[in-house]
Structure 1
Amino acid sequence: MSRLLDMLTVRVDETILDAVKCIESGDLQIAFVVEAQERLVGVVTNGDVRRYLLQGGDTKLPVTACMNRNFRAVGLGATREQLLKTFDLGYNALPGLDANGRLCEIYTRQMTASPEVPVLARARAPVRMSFCGGGADLTYFFVDHPAAVLSCTVGLYAHATLVPRDDASVHIYSEDIAHEEHYPSLSQLLTSEHKSLLATIVSVIRPAYGFDLYLRSDFSVGSGLGGSSAATTAIIAAFNELRQDRWNTYEIAELAFQAERLCFGIAGGWQDQYASAFGGFNLIEFENQRNLVHPIRLEEAARFELEACLVLCDTGALHDSGQLHEMQRQEMEAELSQTDLLRESVTLCRRMHRHLIRCELFDFGLCLHEAWMLKKQFSSAVSDDKLDDIYAKARGAGALGGKLLGAGAGGFFLFYVQPQHRQAVVRAMHEIGCSTTNFRFESSGVTSWRTKIQ
């Protein structure tokens, strides 16, 4: 029994005088009368005693003679909201009873705030859908030639959960590839020769505590949606949620690029990290001195119409974007014409941007075809006979234009299809074994939050 309970409790066989002493011993001016097994049977206040004595009562009689049997009580574990509402009715103290009516707690208006409990951090980052400019976001191009990429994010996410530990050990779980890594400490992780991408991200952040890290995704590996960058961004955001001085969105994107491209060694550009971090429709400009994200304020009707006209088609073929980017880099170094192609892509990107903000979606759809024709010239590995056949059948069924998302060689095709042709395009894709996926645009970028560990 707590000290407050002990001070304010009297037994049914104790006298009214004993109850008065109990009442006067505390500031609440109340005593709680209990019988066997601490069952509460009544309460006594100064007012109850005065009224009893004015009627000629004897203080030597049992306290039951003047106690109030019609008392207000709450269940043990009552919520703060319930208690506040009851106190607001004029009560100063409330008995907390268990299911058997036993007095287990006394709640007062001076109840303390709930104690701080451990928290975990969660984050999710959307994948991107690039319309034009991919390839120009590679550093070896835009250090000498200003570049731009037009993209948006969709409602498919990488989800990260970070649970701090009391010890120094590090445990990493990837649901997508059914992979686990366990390290006795961060220093052991840092010296490991065969780190996964997730462990590499941790080695860049270097948290000062042990933790459990969980990652899962709404998309398959090799989809061409920038999934590895979304996963990297989500993990960084989860750690950022527990920081006192949080990184801003540009810093999150830069850390994601560092971990994925430089430290883990996946070849590729910069657009994926910025797209997942910022979210929404963006024109992202890349220059030697700076990268800038320009949000696009697309009219709602245009956004809905674009969403209705785009068809996402899974080719069933996975790709290695890092290998494709490396091949593109080598071919660009060998052929001067690659630079001219990328310049043309940047010009097309800016034209598509103008069509988009002016809601000229028919022209936007035609530009997707131009973008795909350009992209196929970047590298011999971007497409093959199977992918060319998929694209030809979609165009033959009525698609205005389209392009393969990501670096190429597999993943998802994105087609622009007017409403009267949508059913025919979807049917044509299913007939050749490709599945189509519904999606929604996502206006927010990476999002993080914390919650209590129950």
Structure 2
Amino acid sequence: MIIVRAPFRVSFAGGGSDIASFYEKNGGCVLSTTIDKYIYLSVHPSFNANETILRYKKSEVVQEISEIGHDIVRACLQKKNIKNIEIHSDADIPAGTGLGSSSTFTTALLTALNSYKGQKTDKEQLAQEACEIEIEDLGNPIGKQDQYAASYGNLNFYRFQKDGSVSVEAVKMSSADKEKMANNLLMFYIGGVHDAPQILSEQSKNIQEVSKEKNLIRMCELAEKLKVELESGNIDALGEILHENWLLKRTLARGISNPRIDEYYQLALEAGALGGKLLGAGGAGFLLLYATQDSKEKIRKALKLPEIKFSYDTEGTKVIYEEK
């Protein structure tokens, strides 16, 4: 048996610029971190040599890989030419809530399958392979940031070049500054699940409009500015940058925000939050806020929403158990 752990991510600025329709023209960049909330995935040979078995929120038992309903699993097994295997997955947080779950699942599964075949995969290869599966093979209208975040782990600045290549830079902060940043972040569950591909597909079309393209260019500038501010020790700048980034992002597609999300965000600001954003493509999931210590309790009382406590993940996707 092989067990793999892959982290979810929290994106702070620049999200949406990792979509090909934008970065091929303008280049893109995102600043994000992975957090200590994970997908766990195990693989082992199937007891019945003629069956491939999947256990996730559904169960599947098939004789042929082409019969698998889960598109990511089907694509990964076909690419790796593996069958007659049993795959189980579980997660700390539900899918469709804005933390990059589909790409996190993909990196976990690819890592497990590579290990199953006795192969080691470095972080860059893993991220590239996950992008190939999701974007090229399956044709999902999504970006590249989630695959890279899950693969590399940690607090990083990602630059998406016009030729499709990606550079990864660690955000250089002192331990004290990283701790302050983590302590000043709040994450609340608004509820629901979103349709990320649908929202991102609309966003990809919309950025052909000059005004929306300019907004996304500004979001890239904010990601670059945030890197400079964090590395300079100006941690509270995160609040202002999150706020401006969110105001810009919500203009990119209809499904990104809604009156309920807007109401919660306004309540948070009135209670003392310095800024925030809805995580992921939009429409549902988690509201991320930045606030000083003296405002955190006021915000909790104002929102009355379930809070998810989290810290940084520094390892990315990794094998945590392998039976010899």
TM-score (norm 1): 0.68
Q: How does 1:407-446 map to 2 (within 5 A)?
A: 407-430=281-304, 434-446=305-317
Q: Is the 8 A contact 2:215 2:248 kept in 1?
A: yes
Amino acid at match of 1:183: V
Q: Provide the residue aligned with 1:126 in structure 2.
A: 7
CA distances 1:337-393 after superposition (whole Å, capped 9, x unpaired): 222111111111100111111120111221111111111111222111111100000
Q: Provide the residue aligned with 1:169 in structure 2.
A: 51
Candidates 81, 87, 95, aligned match of 1:213: 87
Structure with the greater relative contact order (CA < 8 A, sep ≥ 6): 1 or 2?
A: 2
CA–CA distance in structure 2, aligned partners of residues 241 and 294 of structure 1: 27
Q: In structure 2, the residue corresponding to 1:445 is in which secondary structure?
A: coil
CA distances 1:400-440 after superposition (whole Å, capped 9, x unpaired): 0001110111111100010000000011110xxx2111111
Amino acid at match of 1:293: V
CA–CA distance in structure 2, aligned partners of residues 170 and 375 of structure 1: 42
> What is the CA distance between 1:122 and its match in structure 2?
1.1
Kindly tell me the number of residue pairs found equivalent between the two proteins. Answer: 322
> What is the CA distance between 1:145 and its match in structure 2?
1.0
- Where in structure 2 are there 5+ consecutive unaligned residues? none
Q: Is the 8 A contact 1:404 1:414 kept in 2?
A: yes
> What is the CA distance between 1:246 and its match in structure 2?
2.2
* 2:201 aligned with 1:326: yes
CA distances 1:268-326 after superposition (whole Å, capped 9, x unpaired): 10000000000000000101231111122321001111111000011113211111001
CA–CA distance in structure 2, aligned partners of residues 350 and 281 of structure 1: 14
* 2:166 aligned with 1:291: yes
- What is the percentage of aligned positions where both structures have the same residue? 27
> What is the CA distance between 1:162 and its match in structure 2?
0.7
Q: Provide the residue aligned with 2:106 in structure 1.
A: 232
Q: How does 1:241-390 map to 2 (within 5 A)?
A: 241-289=115-163, 290-333=165-208, 335-390=209-264
The answer to which of 132-141 and 371-380 deviates more is 371-380
CA–CA distance in structure 2, aligned partners of residues 410 and 245 of structure 1: 38
CA–CA distance in structure 2, aligned partners of residues 329 and 313 of structure 1: 28
CA–CA distance in structure 2, aligned partners of residues 247 and 447 of structure 1: 10
Q: Is the 8 A contact 2:3 2:41 kept in 1?
A: yes
CA distances 1:4-41 after superposition (whole Å, capped 9, x unpaired): xxxxxxxxxxxxxxxxxxxxxxxxxxxxxxxxxxxxxx
Q: Is the 8 A contact 1:201 1:260 kept in 2?
A: no
Candidates 394, 398, 402, aligned match of 2:268: 394
CA–CA distance in structure 2, aligned partners of residues 193 and 232 of structure 1: 15
- Where in structure 1 are there 5+ consecutive unaligned residues? 1-119
CA–CA distance in structure 2, aligned partners of residues 409 and 450 of structure 1: 36
Q: In structure 1, the residue corresponding to 2:33 is in which secondary structure?
A: strand
CA–CA distance in structure 1, aligned partners of residues 97 and 276 of structure 2: 16
Q: Is the 8 A contact 1:172 1:199 kept in 2?
A: no
Q: Is the 8 A contact 1:241 1:450 kept in 2?
A: no
Q: In structure 2, the residue corresponding to 1:285 is in which secondary structure?
A: strand
Rg bigger for which structure?
1
Q: Is the 8 A contact 2:22 2:204 kept in 1?
A: no
TM-score (norm 2): 0.95
CA–CA distance in structure 1, aligned partners of residues 84 and 141 of structure 2: 30
